[in-house]
Amino acid sequence: MNVEELRTFCLGLPHATEDIKWGNDLCFCVGEKMFATTSLNPSSGFSCSFKCTPEKYAKLIERDGITSAPYTGRFGWVCVKKKNAIGSAELKELIKESYDAVKEALPVKLKKELR
């Protein structure tokens, strides 16, 4: 998966938005809360970060090319640093789970507005 495919997938999720933060990171949000990020710096190669359950976090960071995400790892975020570290279908599934978890944690009033 490349950045454009990732962008298309993330923006295909209901109420997903995108924003550039920290100068060079494309962030995908639902209800203004991030569920995935990717670097737009071509020299750094592909990277994608997302939130996951504690169980999946522990298993994912054992894989070559996947690490605890800088600054957000303590909140259950991982960073995929190598394209071939994870298949496209599995990456989409994990990002969808991140989206669902973030959306579920939104305030009740905001969740109602998004329905």
Number of domains in the chain: 1
Kindly give, in sequence order, each residue whose CB lies less than 8 Å from that of residue 73, ignoring residues fewer than 6 positions away.
67, 79
| Residue 60: CATH number of its domain | 3.90.1150.30
Per-residue pLDDT of 4-44, as tens digits, reads: 999 999 999 999 999 999 888 999 999 999 999 998 886 67
Residue that has been written with the tokens 């969740």 in this structure: 111
Amino acid 41: pLDDT: 80
Amino acid 113: pLDDT: 83
Per-residue pLDDT of 69-86, as tens digits, reads: 988 999 999 999 988 899
> Residue 36 belongs to what domain range?
3-114
Kindly give, in sequence order, each residue whose CB lies less than 8 Å from that of residue 92, ignoring residues fewer than 6 positions away.
1, 9
Per-residue pLDDT of 54-67, as tens digits, reads: 999 999 999 999 99
CB 78 within 8 A of CB 49: yes
Q: CA triplet 40, 9, 101: central angle to 5 degrees? A: 95
